[in-house]
Chains A and B, each alone.
Chain A
């Protein structure tokens, strides 16, 4: 009997038969097709990969492999689902944080872009006005002001962090650098030290020299927090850097600046740009330092979200979050393209 069962399961294609049976059971139990689709996705895809195993795999091996694939798939779903689920939720016509009946039956009435409009309108003096709405929105809408602050602070701090960070990374990757380990760990420590401690220290110090509650204070804080990312990415690019190119350039009479501009910079540019993007997104996402150092005047998007979640939670936050997710997708694409270009430049991969 056991032999028969083992033969039955081990035969190719039988597993699909089981899957189909189980799916029918699910449909009968829940009475919906949606559940069956979910069931098929969670259990069917791993099965497909399992079926590609070699023929001589034992039942135990197959089972282990199947469980492994199911677990991995679930973890990946766990990772990505929260990020994706907020997008449809942000088009909710009702002020709820969940799917309404209408949304589930794809009723177009149940979807609306009102929360996206709310991003633009919230805080405006006269949202319905025909004349002068643009300057009203630009100056008064809370989210627009937060976005302007965020982008200004992030851009300036990314530029400063990249300049200082690249210089330091150039020094750190020289073979004759003294106290390399010590200085590297100092420069990366802003990433490690708990943000509350950093923010508290900065709050006291910046208050005492009078730059707390100013743009300068927030930018200095964000440069500090962005620097480790620049150091890490640029050092990584420089680790595959051929130092003989520098010597060749110097041999031919180029001075330090020309060598940097014509030889080093073009080669490490991908690393610099990814470092700058990392610093940019760190600043764009940072909220603890802003909570401590900034005033209402310097409110950034994350700060606005923070108080939104704490005080008056509305789907507007989901709409903002969705926009930010789309931005991260764009950013990730740029980073990936840069990484490929960098690897190609250094001859590490053929593609």
Chain B
């Protein structure tokens, strides 16, 4: 006779459950610990630096670091007319003090550059006034400063100074969006001539889309061919895809320069066959065309490989079934084959587009003037013009687009499905 004894069962069950939970917890921790070194490494060497750099886009203390007392004093000003005599006094004293500072990032020159971004042509106003500020020993400071330069009587200078005194401000995003502050401090569209960033952004997206589209057109037949050929032949042709894929980016860019330049292989061939005259050589590089051709060549394998891996899994019997049931070949292709390749198309398209919008090296080398992308502008502001905050603001905008696409890629395909070769 067996009678169930619930109390004993429960007594046994509870520890078992706990034990299991404990073991799982240990295993989870162990798995996590294996990834921990790399996660920590990337956090320090990759995530934190980028985060810090992006922080630069809203953070700029070039004014408050140079004239700290003034930066607090100006905040009390209501923006009407000119600031009070007291504010002028603090400014003159701060300026005279700042003149002696030599530390990089805290000089009057740094502040002048910062204001110059928003008021082009105002740089000398600060450097000149800083030189003479030490000589102003007593009030009225307002008149004395205006005597040095009449621009100090312009309220716009003070408005700009007040705005820039905030360490955290959106002013670099305003600039990156091709906008500016007008005389009264409202955000308006910048003059036509200065609208470069948004236009370049649009151009980058458009070129990336065009390159992706060309890649789809070129990759689709090749991937199909590779997927239907017998293994031995397809392996041979695969080398033609993989070799350029593994060849150095600079090697391929160099090759395109050799091929496309006016004294290069293609122009020579065209002249040789009499298609064009010797004086009619076509400019195919150092412009947008060059960028597009070289980038298509470089990114094409990223489209072929995912397409190929999807096409290889498609059973040829489906197409045969459609055809045997009387479908026209094109209709069968469109309704039966094409839908099955969508995952590969999506993977390739997203990957190529993501890589294309962030491209730097190829446009920098073969892009000339009109082939430059947003990455080149970012690099220009970081390395040449040294307007780091603006570069960071542009970088943030680019990064947001890329991370959004990356998120979509992850949701649709899963980055862990990525394979090379």
Q: Are B31 and A82 in contact (CB under 8 A)?
A: no
Counting residue pairs across A and B whose Cβ atoms lie within 8 Å, the total is: 274
Give the nearest-CB partner of A286 in chain B.
Answer: B249
The interface residues of chain B, by DSSP majority, are classed as: helix
Q: Are A309 and B254 in contact (CB under 8 A)?
A: yes
What are 12 of the A-B contact pairs (CB < 8 Å)?
A: A82-B259, A97-B261, A98-B265, A171-B30, A184-B416, A187-B42, A189-B406, A194-B359, A203-B382, A224-B41, A328-B243, A332-B239
The smallest beta-carbon distance between B380 and chain A, in angstroms, is 10
Residue A198, interface by CB 8 Å: yes
Q: How far is the CA of A202 from the CA of B42 in the complex (A)?
A: 11
Residue B412, interface by CB 8 Å: no
Q: How far is the CA of A83 from the CA of B242 in the complex (A)?
A: 11
**A85 partner, pick from B56, B237, B258, B379, beta carbons under 8 A:** B258
**A331 partner, pick from B219, B246, B259, B268, beta carbons under 8 A:** B246
Q: How far is the CA of A195 from the CA of B415 in the complex (A)?
A: 18
Q: Are A321 and B48 in contact (CB under 8 A)?
A: no
Contacts of A236 in B (CB 8 A): 419
Residue A196, interface by CB 8 Å: yes
The smallest beta-carbon distance between B352 and chain A, in angstroms, is 12
Q: Are A99 and B268 in contact (CB under 8 A)?
A: yes
Knowing A79-B297, A85-B265, A176-B27, say if A164 contacts B37 (CB, 8 Å). yes
Knowing A86-B255, A98-B268, say if A325 contacts B399 (CB, 8 Å). no
Residue A248, interface by CB 8 Å: no
Interface residues of B in 356-397 (CB under 8 A from A): 357-361, 365, 375, 378-379, 382-383, 388, 391-392, 395
Contacts of A184 in B (CB 8 A): 415-416
Q: How far is the CA of A68 from the CA of B249 in the complex (A)?
A: 29
Q: How far is the CA of A278 from the CA of B419 in the complex (A)?
A: 12
Residue A168, interface by CB 8 Å: yes
Q: How far is the CA of A114 from the CA of B264 in the complex (A)?
A: 20
Contacts of B52 in A (CB 8 A): 201, 204-205
Contacts of A200 in B (CB 8 A): 53, 378-379, 382, 391-392, 395
Residue A252, interface by CB 8 Å: no
Q: How far is the CA of A60 from the CA of B46 in the complex (A)?
A: 55
Q: Are A332 and B246 in contact (CB under 8 A)?
A: yes
- Most chain B beta-carbon neighbours within 10 Å: one of A281, A317, A325: A325
Give me the interface of B with A, judged by CB distance under 8 Å. 24, 27-28, 30-39, 41-42, 45-54, 56, 218-219, 221-222, 224-225, 237, 239-244, 246-259, 261, 263-265, 268, 273, 297, 300-301, 329, 354, 357-361, 365, 375, 378-379, 382-383, 388, 391-392, 395, 398-399, 402-403, 406, 410, 414-416, 418-421
Interface residues of A in 60-104 (CB under 8 A from B): 60-61, 64, 68-69, 71-72, 75-76, 78-83, 85-86, 89, 96-99
Q: How far is the CA of A205 from the CA of B53 in the complex (A)?
A: 8
Q: Are B38 and A164 in contact (CB under 8 A)?
A: yes
**A185 partner, pick from B24, B50, B249, B415, beta carbons under 8 A:** B415
Residue A306, interface by CB 8 Å: yes
The interface residues of chain A, by DSSP majority, are classed as: helix
Contacts of A205 in B (CB 8 A): 48-49, 52-53
Tell which of A115-123, A137-145, A227-235 binds the partner: A227-235
Report the contact-size class of chain A (Cβ under 8 Å from the partner): 35 or more
The smallest beta-carbon distance between A133 and chain B, in angstroms, is 28
Q: Are B421 and A339 in contact (CB under 8 A)?
A: yes
Q: How far is the CA of A306 from the CA of B362 in the complex (A)?
A: 10
Q: Are A85 and B255 in contact (CB under 8 A)?
A: yes
Q: Are B365 and A325 in contact (CB under 8 A)?
A: no
Residue A302, interface by CB 8 Å: yes
Q: How far is the CA of A183 from the CA of B410 in the complex (A)?
A: 12
